[in-house]
Chains A and B, each alone.
Chain A
Amino acid sequence: QVQLQQWGAGLLKPSETLSLTCAVYGGSFSGYYWSWIRQPPGKGLEWIGEINHSGSTKYNPSLKSRVTISVDTSKNQFSLKLSSVTAADTAVYYCARGDWVVPAALFRRRGVTWFDSWGQGTLVTVSS
């Protein structure tokens, strides 16, 4: 049973850099897509970005200029950095393990992507 445990600073001032790390226990690190997802208070889920075990990344276009996701396979950890934070970045941040089946018309196979394990969440508040 895979478990994700995350940590990082919970209170930041505007313009600082948010930094969170997620450790993966009890499961394979390779073959999955490791994501960061956030949820502003009272609002829905927003995907921030993902990385695979080889370091290939994808980022939400709305955050791409400020986001860096990195991986340390020797420790089974991945990390999030979000620069120049503002009050709008106040949210609960989750790390999650993702999987992805790409659609293949030739085989009449539909695609699907899902997140089956989540970290406990970290509330990050940005306030002066």
Chain B
Amino acid sequence: SSELTQDPAVSVSLGQTVRITCQGDSLRSYDASWYQQKPGQAPVLVVFGKNNRPSGIPDRFSGSSSGNTASLTITGAQAEDEADYYCNSRDISGNLLDVVFGGGTKLTVL
């Protein structure tokens, strides 16, 4: 299967910019989607496709991609951005096209 790899934990100072990355072979042909999950809550889609944000998501969240790596950038991180972040894509190995998720990154805002 095609895996997606994320750093387990990242920290950022309040108001600074942070980049959360996701690596995997499928990202050479798929853009990642990104989800924010706070404790006890369902995940929330924050970025999908070539940097699209659902209605209500602040524009400090942006997405990008290069080679086999996708990135979620938070420009001017706020305290409320402290959460777990997951990327997802499709598994392109063997034409399965099953959904895959990264292992998640815990973001701490200092």
Contacts and interface: CB of A to CB of B under 8 A. Distances in A.
The finding on whether chains A and B are genuine partners in a shared complex, rather than unrelated, reads yes
Interface of A: 35, 37, 44-47, 50, 58-61, 94, 98, 100-101, 103, 110-116, 118-121
A114 B45 contact: yes
A110 B30 contact: yes
Interface residues on B, range: 20 to 34
A112 B42 contact: no
A44 B88 contact: no
B33 A113 contact: yes
A14 B82 CA distance: 36
Contact of A113 (B42, B44, B99): B99
The A interface is mostly helix, strand or loop, or mixed, namely strand
B34 to A, nearest CB: 9
Contact of B54 (A37, A111, A116): A116
B29 interface: yes
Contacts, number: 78
15 contacts: A45-B35, A45-B43, A47-B88, A47-B101, A58-B96, A58-B97, A101-B49, A110-B29, A110-B31, A111-B30, A112-B30, A113-B88, A116-B48, A116-B54, A118-B43
Contact of B99 (A35, A94, A110): A35
Given A112-B48, A118-B42, A47 B98 contact: yes
Interface of B: 1, 29-33, 35, 42-45, 48-50, 54, 65, 86, 88-90, 96-104
B31 A112 contact: yes
Given A45-B43, A58-B98, A61-B1, A114 B88 contact: yes
B20 to A, nearest CB: 14
A47 B99 contact: yes
A46 B43 CA distance: 12
